[in-house]
Structure 1
Amino acid sequence: MKKFLIQFFTWWNGTTLNTRFHTWRKGTKVGEDEFGNVYYQGGTDSEGRTRRWVMYNGYSEASTIPPGWHGWIHHKVDVPPTQEAYQAREWQKPHRPNMTGTPDAYRPQGSIMTGEDRPRVTGDYDAWTPN
């Protein structure tokens, strides 16, 4: 019952009930990625293309879609990675979760969150004052 209520009232904790219903009615499973996300297609969108969607494994985090699947789900390529010998390019980095709001978040030099002292002002800046 708790899982049903979570799915009913939230969208970030996984697949919503509407997506499950649409998948059951019109969805055809296309494949699955290394993170456990499952990809579907079926029906048509407003532009007449085949509708494509993903059912995330866990939280709905778009950054967990690997590059090959990203191209397919956004209609950049017609063939899903499961139907071709897709190899990631050497410049494509592996997935890292979004660290915003965690102790591992990016904090640039001089940020008050780093705990370091800010660099001293060098004198090349004159504060604006009204005339």
Structure 2
Amino acid sequence: MKNFLLQIFTWWNGKTPGTLFYTWRKGTRVGEDEFGNVYYQGDHDSEGRTRRWVIYNGQSDASAIPPGWHGWIHHRTDVSPADESYQPRDWQKAHQPNMTGTAGAYRPKGSILNPADRPRVTGDYDAWTPGS
């Protein structure tokens, strides 16, 4: 019962009933990635492109889409990674979850949550002023 209520009232916790209904009516399953996210395509949008969407496995986190699927879902390629033997390029990094709001978030020196002293200005920067 708890999972059912979470799906009804929280959009960030996987799939909502509206997404499930739309997927059931108009979606065609394209494939699944190594994280368990499932990718679909359906009818066309106002620009004539095929609508593409993902149902996340767990919390909705756009950074959890691998590079190959990212290219497909953003219409960079028409061939999904499920239809080809996609291999990530050497320069493509492995997935790292979004750390915002956690202890692992980036905290530069001098920020409120990092007690280290902020680096001194070196003098190679001139602030912009109107009329300059």
TM-score by length of 1: 0.85
Partner of 1:55: 55
Identity of aligned residues (%): 74
Partner of 1:69: 69
Task: Report the CA distance shift for 1:64/1:121 in structure 2 as closer, same or farther (over 3 A).
Answer: closer
Partner of 1:106: 106
Runs of 4+ that moved beyond 4 A? 117-122
CA drift at 1:116: 2.8
Greater C-alpha Rg: 1
Aligned residue pairs total 124
1:28-43 equivalent positions in 2, closer than 5 A: 28-43=28-43
Partner of 1:5: 5
CA separation in 2, counterparts of 1:84 and 1:98? 28
1:81-96 equivalent positions in 2, closer than 5 A: 81-96=81-96
Larger displacement relative to structure 2 (13-22 or 44-53): 44-53
CA separation in 1, counterparts of 2:44 and 2:120? 59
CA drift at 1:100: 1.2
CA drift at 1:106: 0.7
Output the aligned Cα RMSD: 2.0
Partner of 2:127: none
Q: Which runs of 5+ in 1 are unaligned?
A: 123-131
Task: Report the CA distance shift for 1:121/1:48 in structure 2 as closer, same or farther (over 3 A).
Answer: closer
1:35-54: CA deviation from partner (whole Å, max 9, x where unpaired): 10000111111212211110
Larger displacement relative to structure 2 (88-97 or 113-122): 113-122
Q: Which runs of 5+ in 2 are unaligned?
A: 123-132
